[in-house]
Structure 1
């Protein structure tokens, strides 16, 4: 394996613009978090939907009051939850590409060290 890239200090001002290894690792963690959420969500969402059908609209005043405030919220949760994995995947991909771009600009690109997120 090639030597690991050094911290990037564009402009030579003494500040560090990026730690490539750590930034790439963080992008992978973001990617993994989205996948982990999607796995749990996919296994759970049908249970939630089945329970909602079973509970109906509420038989008493407490149930009806709960439903009146729950229903509008519940209609936004499922579409929002379905966007977590693609959103995190996009963020992770952008982070990974930023590392590669920074390394290119800094002149220390090491292609075999940074691979596309899978």
Structure 2
């Protein structure tokens, strides 16, 4: 990363960013998405297999639970499948923001050197 220290322009409302640390955090965020996706690919089929084994009708409470679970189960599986790409996209967007902030800081520093 080009700027090891904090970036601050000195004005009110500036965002102080530590590019190296922020970039590392965005990489960790992306990795968390991959970790979730890897875990879901492992446990998703196991969960589906266990669900296939379980019937309903043990008692009134289990029947009500199973009905409610079945109503949301499909949506939960769909959403779980979207977590990895969404979190990876957040990390990628964060890294892009860090790069843009560094570039803007460098442009601003170059401009200030010209006018001073």
Using the size of structure 2 for normalisation, the TM-score is: 0.80
47-56 vs 34-43, greater mean Cα deviation: 47-56
Say which one has the larger Rg.
2
Per the alignment, do residues 59 and 72 of structure 1 end up closer, same or farther by CA in structure 2, a change over 3 Å counting? same
Q: Hey, what's the Cα distance between the residues in 2 that align with 1:77 and 1:59?
A: 24
Q: Which runs of 5 or more residues in structure 2 are unaligned? A: 108-116
Larger helix share, 1 or 2: 2
Alignment match, 2:112: none
Preserved contact between residue 33 and residue 87 of structure 2 (Cα < 8 Å): yes
1:13 partnered with 2:11: yes
CA RMSD of superposed structures (Å)? 2.0
> 1:71: how far off?
1.1
1:24 partnered with 2:34: no
* Count of residue correspondences: 106
> 1:16: how far off?
4.8
Q: Hey, what's the Cα distance between the residues in 2 that align with 1:88 and 1:29?
A: 10
Using the size of structure 1 for normalisation, the TM-score is: 0.79
Preserved contact between residue 7 and residue 20 of structure 1 (Cα < 8 Å): yes
Structure 1, residues 10-62: CA drift from partner, whole Å, max 9, x if none?
Answer: 2x237552110111011011011001111111000001111111113334433
